[in-house]
Structure 1
């Protein structure tokens, strides 16, 4: 039923749904305030059946400063004139109303008020105000902090939802009961407010489809025509040039026979290398984890509702994985093109990191691709053809290696045929590369228009403001994913893996520093869409979404993870699938540990890292060893004297800080220059010429590199002299604090001091060996750098005997230095907890010696040993600094304040 009335100000005829009776708003024509008349009470409203959810009223706004319901609508943004400007949004955007996260079960005694719905678009029908009539009881809600700090005045999350504090489906001790069952379904599905206006197909999208279809039709024709021309040329040669075979006898006949066979060999090789991708199989995922309507009914209902709103077919299957992504595609590839056989793949970290409102928009985007069926099918075909050409042009496999080996192994009187075949194949691949670039340019335009089209669906379902917040949040999750991968690498070194990767990613969201969010903001602001990009940059997409001025038709601030019946169990399952794809049968269940323990470890390491920087006054470098006055701690009875010694060391460190920072910066530059000069010298010693692209400083001769190295070494001596005062003070400060920690009077002021002293004492052997063998560590690093330089010059020196002789000499030197350094660490215990129990530092850093004749294996082992050794050393120094800071706090010493650090661009 609708209510019809005329605006009392401009007489514009308006129609409203009957549930808007009694509410106030604005006329879209004159913006005058109007009130929707009440419906005549001729017949009482029917009671809502108990088996169905009650109609959901307008969602309430979060608690905070009240906003006027008659605020003028924002002006529609104009297109960006400056290509580097930030995304264009309305001058005064009005945030759509949102429901707050639920923390308690519904209470009939405390109904929630209906808050105003503030539409952003200037052409909104009106802005509704709360009705005077009593509304149906709604669950009480409470706000929770947004995800991370705000960026450019816009919260990273569009709703008040933090993934790290997201409510789970299982009860927690001391926590409010989470929504479950029918109450959860009502909360989730009640967020849908109505349909959206259909998204028309733009002229640019239609033009892109036509252009792409024409180019993609031409590319396969050219490709297979080339194969046909080569085959016909081979047949013509075999049938018309047989006279070559009888033109001469003896050695000349053998040569003519090779000439006769040469086009056949070259042509056959060319055809084979063009069609061999047909027989190549993509590795793909080993495990596909699919859900069913019986296992996750709420998810399927939610997805089907979004599909109905968008006007797209519902997926036949829903898969889940560990990606920061959601995608919809044809379930059986080309065999599903003619029907509506779709599969939706959802990345669980994405669902855990987005609100329902954001997630609904993402789903609308994916299904928006399928709302325009013809365009999506053409897109699938064009993507397949592009991938095919990419495969043909760039794929190298064992067949390519065999052809290279054949051209280099045989006598030149025979191998020239293989060289010719390689040359012809290279020419054809270059021709196909040009075709591929043309195809990418044509399809890139269409794919960009397709993304804009899908973005309109997302904006109309979730809202323009939510679209921008989602774009930022996905980038936040991307950075958190990288942090989680770093955590996994750290855990794996100690024989552990987190059992829940999605939760680990969400835990990394709260660890992101403000600089990371600034990076995301700058990345969006300075984004630029290039010719061959398949997706427009976020800046252009956000601008396009704001031009929709869409308020959205879904409201929901709960995390999207509530759609899954048991999110955490499912997350652990897909985490196992992810690890199994990497490790295969080597993966063991005992390697997986609760993610909560892993996050706790990561948090401790982060706290230690911050304490390390604080203790060093933001001037720590792993290139410099910690030099203690002594490496064994002897308790002293002269506590006052040691305290004075500690205070003096603090004063010395503070006084020398600025000088040290400048000297350390110069030291790093000198160190890099010395490594580069040594790299250039060994290349010249191998009778080769350094590649200018691999050097910041180019040296025209070995002598020039040697003289540069000599000057840098002189500067190094001066620089180290400037750093000595600060480093000496650091050593005495740590040593004095450890001596005081062994004192019984100081221990009385620190909880668990005796145990802490024992733990810190276990770290000293690592610090000792690193300081004693610091030059050996640098020697391994320098040799590794030289080996890597040789590997970068391999292609240009394949016929240079002196080059390979020098390379073997450097490889032998690196192998000897590596094993010698590792053997020195065999008597030092690994100082931290390991899954295997007590192990030596050598076993942790280098479990097995590399093959001294295998350059790749040796270089990889050296790289891992250096990385792990420095990591262990930094962790040890960090913990010593934490202990020293605790002692200073117990003595009542104020923390040292680091002088401001000049930020480097």
Structure 2
């Protein structure tokens, strides 16, 4: 389908949107006219008045949606990130200009570096997207951190392939129509009248039709941009770029959820520039195999019929079917991050544009201190339910070898450190040795209502993992307190603690023994009593 036919189809769909609104308004107007001129009598005045009010209530969201459609493009915000000029980043701009020239299209007016694993072009087009406007190219810094220069050339060639085929203007038509349809449908949400629900259902059905129809056009544009890019950089380079893009998406998602956000629960951030810059360290530490493992662990993404991009497998199959063209793929090309000047300053500036103000105000800690603080907070959280359960069990049960009766609670309270104090590791192990684990302590551990009815082995097996985590938390706190646990900032695993070799080898088995159906704390006590360098 030619660009002209695609434009005609997009305009027809937008005309259908307007016609739907106009038709509904016309139907309301005709109905009101008939009510006033034909059916209005003294006896029906109340009914007619109510109908007129209902018509106005239905017409308001229709008009609101049509107005939103006309102003959607003007209210569209650009990508959030750091705007860089040619003086700031001459090497990156040189690559951008080269890619634009090879695509036969003018370079963008603005280059923005973002914190996303993505790149994209936008154009503030006019007249429903048919008249060109200033173009902006957004490039995600994580792409630069994880790709080679040839792969980034493939990214840029794909984006400028949209420019060369005038797809950004058509995309403006499509996206503007999407915004208008979504706004109009949203206007009907929360409506309580049957009339509003009926009109809203019509817009929802049209919205689904519009999205599916426009997505077909958008996906063909993406495949055309892939072909244009492959003619410049080669199909093999494009295929390698797409595969790398999927790996980087999985790795960055993992990084954002674990490392970048590690300090948030304890109210701190890593050093300036490291919220985004730490991703470089993870990529370097994991290597190809480690990154592939992260991608393999990522849940399979379901195909979205409304996604503007075809599934990756479809794009790869289309590239593999192309005849060889362009330069040969260089898997050992120079890193794209070398295109950035003063990358640390870029990472710091990016935080100012991507982090909310309240996050930027948080204190900063070096990675080791941050990981240690978070690990201690996690350990305290894991241990707290068990410590509270042991305290309650001690207050309610006699202590072996001690007097029973009224003095038991006071003695147990003294053992755990006085009023308000929670049992420490030694007190928890003593409670296990005193036979309180199953079920005096276990019964007092928090659990969902449906698990409260479990008894015997089923109850023990359900609660055992939670008690295991709690004991592990107490052990970690003990080792940190003795200076035997250090923060793990190797980036090859989740942020956590590095334990002495004896603990790494023997801790799991010792905790398992302490929490067995017949508990035995001897292995755990032996670990605790061993010299630090054992």
TM range (shorter): 0.5 to 0.7
Q: 1:544 to 1:262 in 2, by over 3 A?
A: same
User: Separation in 2 of the partners of 1:504 and 1:439?
Assistant: 41
Residue 93 of structure 2 corresponds to residue 297 of structure 1: no
Residue 328 of structure 2 corresponds to residue 558 of structure 1: no
Equivalence for 2:522: none
Local SS of the residue matching 1:454: helix
Report Cα offsets for 1:210-247 as digits up to 9, x if no partner.
65454344333233332233234434544x15742xx2
The runs of 5 or more residues in structure 1 that have no matched partner are: 1-202, 249-255, 405-418, 613-620, 635-641, 650-659, 661-666, 679-708, 742-752, 761-831, 833-874, 899-905
Residue 304 of structure 2 corresponds to residue 543 of structure 1: no
Equivalence for 1:625: 386
- TM-fit CA distance, 1:428: 1.1
User: Is the Cα contact below 8 Å between 1:325 and 1:350 reproduced in 2?
Assistant: yes
Equivalence for 1:269: 57
Local SS of the residue matching 1:438: helix
User: Separation in 2 of the partners of 1:283 and 1:383?
Assistant: 10
Residue 140 of structure 2 corresponds to residue 347 of structure 1: yes
Residue 267 of structure 2 corresponds to residue 492 of structure 1: no
User: Separation in 1 of the partners of 2:155 and 2:24?
Assistant: 43
- TM-fit CA distance, 1:533: 3.6
User: Is the Cα contact below 8 Å between 1:313 and 1:340 reproduced in 2?
Assistant: no
Residue 175 of structure 2 corresponds to residue 383 of structure 1: yes
Local SS of the residue matching 1:327: strand
Q: 1:212 to 1:734 in 2, by over 3 A?
A: closer
User: Separation in 1 of the partners of 2:346 and 2:85?
Assistant: 13
After superposition, residues 604-683 of structure 1 pair within 5 angstroms as 625=386, 631=423, 675=448, 678=449
Residue 24 of structure 2 corresponds to residue 226 of structure 1: yes
Equivalence for 2:527: none
User: Separation in 1 of the partners of 2:146 and 2:197?
Assistant: 46
Local SS of the residue matching 2:17: helix
Equivalence for 2:524: none
**Corresponding residue to 1:480 among 241, 251, 270:** 251
Equivalence for 1:598: 367
Higher relative contact order (CA 8 A, sep 6+): 2
Q: 1:384 to 1:726 in 2, by over 3 A?
A: closer
Residue 457 of structure 2 corresponds to residue 718 of structure 1: yes
Residue 113 of structure 2 corresponds to residue 320 of structure 1: yes
- TM-fit CA distance, 1:588: 5.2
User: Is the Cα contact below 8 Å between 1:483 and 1:508 reproduced in 2?
Assistant: no
Report Cα offsets for 1:166-216 as digits up to 9, x if no partner.
xxxxxxxxxxxxxxxxxxxxxxxxxxxxxxxxxxxxx59887666545434
Local SS of the residue matching 1:343: strand
The runs of 5 or more residues in structure 2 that have no matched partner are: 391-414, 417-422, 488-494, 511-534
User: Is the Cα contact below 8 Å between 1:365 and 1:458 reproduced in 2?
Assistant: yes
Scaled by the length of structure 2, the TM-score of the pair is 0.68
User: Is the Cα contact below 8 Å between 2:260 and 2:276 reproduced in 1?
Assistant: no
User: Separation in 2 of the partners of 1:587 and 1:315?
Assistant: 32
Task: Give the total of aligned pairs.
Answer: 451
User: Is the Cα contact below 8 Å between 2:83 and 2:113 reproduced in 1?
Assistant: yes
Scaled by the length of structure 1, the TM-score of the pair is 0.42
Equivalence for 2:292: 517
Find the structure with the greater CA-based Rg: 1
Q: 1:293 to 1:599 in 2, by over 3 A?
A: farther
User: Separation in 1 of the partners of 2:79 and 2:301?
Assistant: 36
- TM-fit CA distance, 1:368: 0.4
Q: 1:732 to 1:469 in 2, by over 3 A?
A: closer
User: Is the Cα contact below 8 Å between 1:480 and 1:512 reproduced in 2?
Assistant: no
Report Cα offsets for 1:251-289 as digits up to 9, x if no partner.
xxxxx4431222221221222111224358758469664
Flag the structure with higher helix content: 2
Equivalence for 1:183: none
Q: 1:511 to 1:424 in 2, by over 3 A?
A: farther
User: Separation in 2 of the partners of 1:603 and 1:456?
Assistant: 49
Report Cα offsets for 1:545-579 as digits up to 9, x if no partner.
11124354386722222323332212211211112
| RMSD over equivalenced CA pairs, Å | 5.0
Equivalence for 2:420: none
User: Is the Cα contact below 8 Å between 2:132 and 2:169 reproduced in 1?
Assistant: no
- TM-fit CA distance, 1:758: 7.0
User: Separation in 2 of the partners of 1:725 and 1:531?
Assistant: 44
